[in-house]
Structure 1
Amino acid sequence: MTGPSTNPVRPWTRPHDWAEVVLGAVLALSPIWLSTDTAAAWTMVVLGALIAIDGLVSLAMPGMIVGEGIQVVLGALAFLSPWVMGYTGFMGAAWTSWIIGGLTVLVGAAAVPVASAAHRMAGQH
């Protein structure tokens, strides 16, 4: 029997994806309260927005495995961005990028098995 009450693949319920939305929002908004330059601010805003948007897409479509892989890549980019974009001198911005980037990689990687199971369950209907 498959129905809403027995289907574990429910949108908007996965904590991993909510964490990604929050992490992305914090990264995107952090230039408001941190000292940055233009490159740092735009990097943080764009990567943060992409992380949050991908988290929202994963929440809406819990069986989409590719979204978790995208999260891992975006997290890695956020982690590397202080060196690549040259804002390691802005310690608050750099540490925010390193922490948010690392957490995004961890949360995205942890969500892969959950998304895989949701994908398999969605395919059984």
Structure 2
Amino acid sequence: MSEVSTRAWTRPHDWAEVVIGVVAALSPLWLSTDTMTMWTMVILGALIAIDGLVSLAVPGAVYGEGIQIVLGVLLFLAPWVMGYTEFNGASWTSWVAGALTIIAGAAAMPMATAAHRTAMPH
């Protein structure tokens, strides 16, 4: 793995996770939602962004990418589980942001694993 993948604040996948989380969290500002939908998107989006920031700060924390994938799955399933499929914009934002979060988390996993191995004393 390149040096870039093991240094803090340099991994593009983690930056993508932060941006995706911020967009999901702020999307109720421009989308039609009800209170429950708004809070679901704000909370899951904020958690995705925060986990992305933690992964950026601590590149060897492999668990962060696993958490990111779980959060992406939760956001993807939220329109059905939380019952807001009637809000098309919110639903599509959840589905797309959730899928992108899953993809970014899975793509970052090899870099996080390599950074973790590099950080471990031999």
TM bracket (short chain): over 0.9
> Partner of 1:3 in structure 2?
none
* CA distance in 1: counterparts of 2:90 and 2:46, whole angstroms: 16
1:8 Cα deviation after fit = 5.6
**Structure 2 length normalisation: TM-score?**
0.95
Gaps of 5+ in 1: 1-5
Q: Helix, strand or coil: the match of 1:89? A: coil
The aligned residue for residue 24 of structure 1 is: 21
Q: Distance in 2 between matches of 1:15 and 1:121?
A: 19
Q: Which residue of 2 aligns with 1:86?
A: 83
2:92 equivalent to 1:95? yes
1:108 correspondence with 2:105: yes
Q: Check whether the contact 2:65–2:112 (CA below 8 A) recurs between aligned residues.
A: yes
TM-superposed CA distance for 1:93, in Å, is 0.2
Aligned residues: 120
Confirm or deny that 1:120 pairs with 2:94.
no
Could you tell me the percent identity over the aligned residues?
Answer: 70
Give the residue type in structure 1 aligned to 2:102. V
Q: Deviations over 1:54-113 (max 9, x none)?
A: 000000000000000000000000000000000000000000000000000010011101
Greater fraction of residues in helix: 2
TM-score, normalised to structure 1's length?
0.92
The residue number in structure 1 matching 2:47 is 50
Question: Can you give the 5+ residue segments of structure 2 that lack an aligned partner in the other structure?
Answer: none
Distance 2:24 2:97 in 1: 7
Distance 1:96 1:18 in 2: 18
**Aligned partners of 2:5 and 2:111 also within 8 Å:** no
CA distance in 2, matches of 1:59, 1:31: 26
* Bigger Rg, which one: 1
Q: What secondary structure is seen at the aligned counterpart in 1 of 2:113? A: helix
Deviations 1:19-61, CA, capped at 9 Å, x for gaps: 0000000000000000001111000000000000000000000
SS at structure 2 position matched to 1:107: helix
